[in-house]
């Protein structure tokens, strides 16, 4: 077993959901190989026997229930004591929008604690416990677990050694501000559709040029908002 490069500690009412979501594929293998550790913590273990253990009605009225501050504080403080997180994240639709840049930044951490909300969310007084509030998109989920899984998956695969090839993340969509170029595999002809001849030419300079053009055209058509921040091949060549 390799020494783990990144620990995740997730506080949640549904640890099974987080466990199940990190058991398979790349992340599952990285866990088994010891490159990543994912520990889940049941929030109900921190209720201290209160009659309204986790949630209570909102002051001022209104629909739904709010997560009480006591178990949130107790759980975060207890878990932080054992895992000494370098980053504490609160999942919330009101947080900063999570993206590939944030994933790359978080992949440089050593230990990340993630708190998953439920109900109408958390009592406002717990916010100071966290370094960052993250949203995975402009929609409301019923809980933070799917958000935590998105963070663990996208951050975990950027940890060196987790993907088979060290440089494959740098080719992917959003790295360098572009969507990725189109992919083809065998057969060379499928239902009358052929593979672009440049890809079978063996000319790697031409293949690189074609892929960059395709990535740029695809980004312009589908996500023009990304192009402003894109690194052009020419800029890189000029610098190097």
Q: Which residues bind ligand SAM (CB under 6 A)?
A: 91-94, 116-118, 120-121, 135-137, 139-144, 147
Say which residues have a Cβ less than 8 Å from residue 216's Cβ, sequence separation at least 6: 178, 227, 230
User: Minimal distance in Å, beta carbon 6 to ligand SAM?
Assistant: 20
Say which residues have a Cβ less than 8 Å from residue 214's Cβ, sequence separation at least 6: 181, 182
Instruction: Identify the DSSP state of 163.
Output: S
User: Minimal distance in Å, beta carbon 193 to ligand SAM?
Assistant: 37
Residue 85 or 93 having the CB closest to ligand SAM: 93
Residue 31 or 118 having the CB closest to ligand SAM: 118
User: Minimal distance in Å, beta carbon 199 to ligand SAM?
Assistant: 38
User: Minimal distance in Å, beta carbon 92 to ligand SAM?
Assistant: 5
Partner residues linked to 115 by β-bridges? 11, 90
Residue 59 or 139 having the CB closest to ligand SAM: 139
Helix (H, G, I), strand (E, B) or coil at 215: helix
CB 98 within 8 A of CB 148: no
Residue 93 or 177 having the CB closest to ligand SAM: 93
Residue facing ligand SAM at closest CB distance = 117
CA distances from 4 to 30, 37, 161 (A): 9, 7, 11
d(CA 111, CA 121): 24
Residue 69 or 232 having the CB closest to ligand SAM: 69
User: Minimal distance in Å, beta carbon 239 to ligand SAM?
Assistant: 37
């Amino acid at each position: 077993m390799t020494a783990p490069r990144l620990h995740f500690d997730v506080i949640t009412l549904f640890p099974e959901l987080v466990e199940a979501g990190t058991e398979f594929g790349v992340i599952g293998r990285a866990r088994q190989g010891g490159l990543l550790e994912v520990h889940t913590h049941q929030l109900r273990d921190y209720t201290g026997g209160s009659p309204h253990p986790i949630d209570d009605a909102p002051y001022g009225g209104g629909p739904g229930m709010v997560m009480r501050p006591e178990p949130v504080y107790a759980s975060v403080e207890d878990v932080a004591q054992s895992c000494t997180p370098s980053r504490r994240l609160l999942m919330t639709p009101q947080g900063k929008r999570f993206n590939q840049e944030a994933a790359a930044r978080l992949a440089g951490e050593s230990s990340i604690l993630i708190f998953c909300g439920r109900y109408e969310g958390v009592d406002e007084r717990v916010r100071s416990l966290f370094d960052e509030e993250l949203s995975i998109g402009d929609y409301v989920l019923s809980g933070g677990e799917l958000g935590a899984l998105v963070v663990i998956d996208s951050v975990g695969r950027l940890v060196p050694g987790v993907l088979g090839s060290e440089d494959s993340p740098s080719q992917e969509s959003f790295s360098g501000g572009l969507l990725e170029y189109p992919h083809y595999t065998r057969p060379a002809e499928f239902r009358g559709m052929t593979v672009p001849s440049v890809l079978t030419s063996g000319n790697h300079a031409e293949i690189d040029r074609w892929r960059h053009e395709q990535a740029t055209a695809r980004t312009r058509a589908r996500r023009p908002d990304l192009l402003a921040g894109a690194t052009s091949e020419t800029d890189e060549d000029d610098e190097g």
